[in-house]
Each structure stands twice: as structure tokens, then as C-alpha cells.
């Protein structure tokens, strides 16, 4: 429940405060959001399986965002930023959908 509450608070704060992102950091925002959502959906799955650990969640959240941002930065430096960004989004998207499917199976016992 804590990850969902944190996500809701973050979304509300973003809508109210409407922060601006500096132009050099804009390519990293979508990747960071997808990486953070991967951690949140993974935490929701762990909660449903009664094995949620807040320390694991925080480490997963921070490391996902940092690793994804580092990969995009490396791709930019190599001149293949958009291709590497797409790869990161695909991999994290697969993980999100796999966790969502596991949550759905837990809820509907199917």
C-alpha cells in the first residue's frame, strides 16, 4: 500500500506544482518514470505474495532509475540514445506487464 500511496502523492504533487524539467534532462524523464513504475508494480506484486520488504523496494526503485538513466546517458554518448532508450523501455515494459499479469492471476485465481 505504501508504494501506491507514494505514487499517488507524487502524481498529485506533480499536477499541483507543475515542475519544469531542464532541456538537457528531458530525455531521461520518460525512462526514469518507466523504471520507477517497474519498481512500484513489482512492489505491488510482492505485497500480494506477502513478501514485500520496504528496503528491497527502496533499493529497487533507486537502482532501477539510476541504471536506466545511466544506460540512456551511455547511449547518448555513443550516438545511439534513441535505440538504447527504446530497448530500456521495452525491457522494463515487459517486466511491468509480467508483474501485472501475476497480480491479475493472484486476484482472479486464474
In the chain, the number of structural domains is 1
Give the alpha-carbon dihedral of 80, 86, 87, 92, to 10 degrees.
Answer: 140
In contact, 73 and 31? CB cutoff 8 Å: no
Percent of the chain with pLDDT over 70: 99
Domain that holds residue 79: 2-108
> By percentage, how much of the chain surpasses pLDDT 90?
51
Stronger pLDDT, 4 or 15, i.e. the higher one: 15
Query: Which residue shows C-alpha cell 519544469?
Result: 20
Nearest-angstrom CA–CA distance, 82 and 30 = 12
Which helix (H) or strand (E) segment holds residue 45: the answer is helix 28-48
Q: Which residues contact 61 (CB under 8 A, 6 or more apart)?
A: 36, 39, 40
What is the pLDDT averaged over residues 69-79? 88
What average pLDDT does the structure give for the chain? 90
Tell me how far apart the alpha carbons of residues 12 and 2 are, in angstroms, rounded to a whole number.
15
Q: Three cell numbers at 38?
A: 517497474
Amino acid at each position: 500500500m505504501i508504494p501506491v500511496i507514494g505514487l499517488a502523492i507524487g502524481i498529485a504533487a506533480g499536477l499541483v506544482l507543475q515542475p519544469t524539467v531542464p532541456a538537457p534532462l528531458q530525455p531521461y524523464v520518460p525512462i526514469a518514470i518507466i523504471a520507477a513504475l517497474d519498481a512500484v508494480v513489482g512492489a505491488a506484486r510482492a505485497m500480494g505474495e506477502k513478501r514485500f520488504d520496504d528496503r528491497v523496494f527502496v533499493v529497487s526503485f533507486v537502482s532501477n532509475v539510476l541504471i536506466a538513466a545511466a544506460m540512456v546517458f551511455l547511449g547518448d554518448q555513443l550516438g545511439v540514445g534513441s535505440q538504447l532508450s527504446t530497448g530500456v523501455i521495452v525491457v522494463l515494459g515487459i517486466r511491468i506487464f509480467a508483474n501485472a499479469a501475476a497480480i491479475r492471476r493472484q486476484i482472479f485465481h486464474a
